[in-house]
Structure 1
């Protein structure tokens, strides 16, 4: 039996240029506004058999505000950025440009002392592959945009560098259907 996993990117907690690695700030005004604007489309996902979220404040708040009452999953946490935690990408690039270049170029590198991109994608894929399929038709999970990107790269068996070319906006969704190790991307909507 296959399972449907819908991943919802958490609402924003800061302006794009002020996002920090391993950021755990609450939703900002724009995040709350966007949530109110799109809630009608996301609230029906609360009917899922299982509802999860990453342990970040913004993911938990997004899930709660949408009525999901999600269970926090440590495996859905954002990538461990080691000593870069709390800094913006611009700040890290100003201090360690060669390290940022190495990190982006090689999915096995971790110049920040945290998790490699490859390990991050594998961790998210491991969570995806251990979702129960028997007697479960639908799962919804609210997570950081980076987690949604990693899940998509894993599910499609895309090269790790594909991660850098996937743009996940706050409150966007992707749906994956399948069984462990055999996932398909499902695009809804259209005319």
Structure 2
């Protein structure tokens, strides 16, 4: 059997320059406005047989606003950024430029004391590969853009560094079809 899984990036919770590591803020006004503009286009996702989300506030709010009533999945949480939790990239770069450079260039290091990029991708990939394949309907998961990027790296068996070259915007939807270790990207 082949699963059909749509990954939906949560609506915006902060402007890009104010995005913080491990941020658990609710959707901001711009995020709510965009979600309301797109709700009719995203409404078919509510027909999914299985509905999941990251445990973050923004993902839960996005899922509820779309009528998904998603089940929170700890494996879909954002990357654990250790001591960088709650800081912006600009703030961290100002205080730890070498650590940021190492983190951006080597997917196996975690200078912040949290999760390495490779470990993050593996965690999300493990969740992806354990989705039920006997569901007759589709599966939808609302997650942070970072989680969608990690899932794409895993599904496409791309090198971890590919993560930095994927641009997943709020409310972007990506569909994967397949099963553990054999995923295909479906572009509509």
Tell me which interval the TM-score lies in, with the shorter structure as reference length. Answer: over 0.9
Q: Secondary structure of the residue that 1:7 maps to in structure 2?
A: strand
- TM-score, normalised on structure 1? 0.97
Measured in 2, the distance between the counterparts of 1:71 and 1:46 equals 13
Unmatched segments (≥5 aa) in structure 2: none
> Would the aligned equivalents of 1:8 and 1:141 in 2 still touch at CA under 8 Å?
yes
Q: How big is each residue's C-alpha offset from its partner over 1:58-80, in whole Å with a ceiling of 9 and x where there is no partner?
A: 00000000000000000000000
Structure 1's consecutive aligned runs of 4 or more residues displaced over 3 angstroms after TM superposition are none
Residue in 1 that maps onto 2:29: 29
Q: How big is each residue's C-alpha offset from its partner over 1:118-176, in whole Å with a ceiling of 9 and x where there is no partner?
A: 00000000000000001343100000000000000100001100000101100001000
Residue in 2 that maps onto 1:20: 20
Residue in 1 that maps onto 2:83: 83
Measured in 2, the distance between the counterparts of 1:111 and 1:137 equals 42
Structure 1 residue 156 corresponds to structure 2 residue 150 = no
Q: Secondary structure of the residue that 1:140 maps to in structure 2?
A: strand
- TM-score, normalised on structure 2? 0.99
Measured in 1, the distance between the counterparts of 2:172 and 2:13 equals 15
Q: Secondary structure of the residue that 1:177 maps to in structure 2?
A: strand
Structure 1 residue 51 corresponds to structure 2 residue 16 = no
> Would the aligned equivalents of 2:3 and 2:135 in 1 still touch at CA under 8 Å?
no
Q: Secondary structure of the residue that 1:78 maps to in structure 2?
A: coil
Measured in 1, the distance between the counterparts of 2:165 and 2:68 equals 29
Bigger Cα displacement from structure 2, 134-143 vs 61-70: 134-143
> Would the aligned equivalents of 1:42 and 1:66 in 2 still touch at CA under 8 Å?
yes
Unmatched segments (≥5 aa) in structure 1: none
> Would the aligned equivalents of 1:2 and 1:137 in 2 still touch at CA under 8 Å?
no
Measured in 2, the distance between the counterparts of 1:154 and 1:119 equals 11
